[in-house]
């Protein structure tokens, strides 16, 4: 899925032009960090990662379920999503 790339919250620029590339990881990051209601066109999207950090295991499981639902809704295919004490890792399909 080609899209404009985001770096540190800003559009990535290269040689005076916006960088275009595989935007799936950018999309996963935006969905993970956003809270529900932040996207006007898709108010049900968002997993609230900031509120999950430092939380208990049950909030981590709810985060994972919400992330899986959002990825499916946005057509992002993945092989695995793992939650650890250090964060989450997602392996996208090629």
* Domain residue ranges of the chain, discontinuous segments joined by +: 2-92
Q: Say which DSSP state 5 is in.
A: -
Give the other-Cβ count within 10 Å of 7's Cβ.
10
Q: Is the pLDDT of residue 86 over 70?
A: yes
**Looking at the predicted structure, is the pLDDT value of residue 1 above 90?**
no
Give the integer Cα–Cα distance in Å for 31 and 8. Answer: 15
Helix segments in the chain, DSSP class H: 24-33, 49-52, 57-73
CATH topology for 2-92?
A: Nuclear Transport Factor 2; Chain: A, (3.10.450)
pLDDT, one tens digit per residue, over 25-72 is: 899 989 999 999 999 998 999 988 887 776 655 666 788 888 999 999
């Amino acid at each position: 899925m080609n899209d404009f790339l985001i770096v540190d919250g800003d559009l990535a620029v290269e040689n005076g032009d916006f960088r275009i590339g595989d935007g799936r990881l950018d999309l996963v990051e935006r969905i993970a960090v956003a809270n529900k209601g932040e996207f006007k066109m898709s108010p049900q999207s968002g997993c609230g990662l900031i509120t999950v950090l430092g939380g208990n295991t049950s909030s981590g499981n709810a985060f994972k379920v919400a992330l899986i639902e959002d990825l499916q809704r946005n057509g992002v295919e993945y092989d695995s999503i793992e939650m650890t004490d250090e964060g989450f890792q997602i392996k996208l399909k090629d």
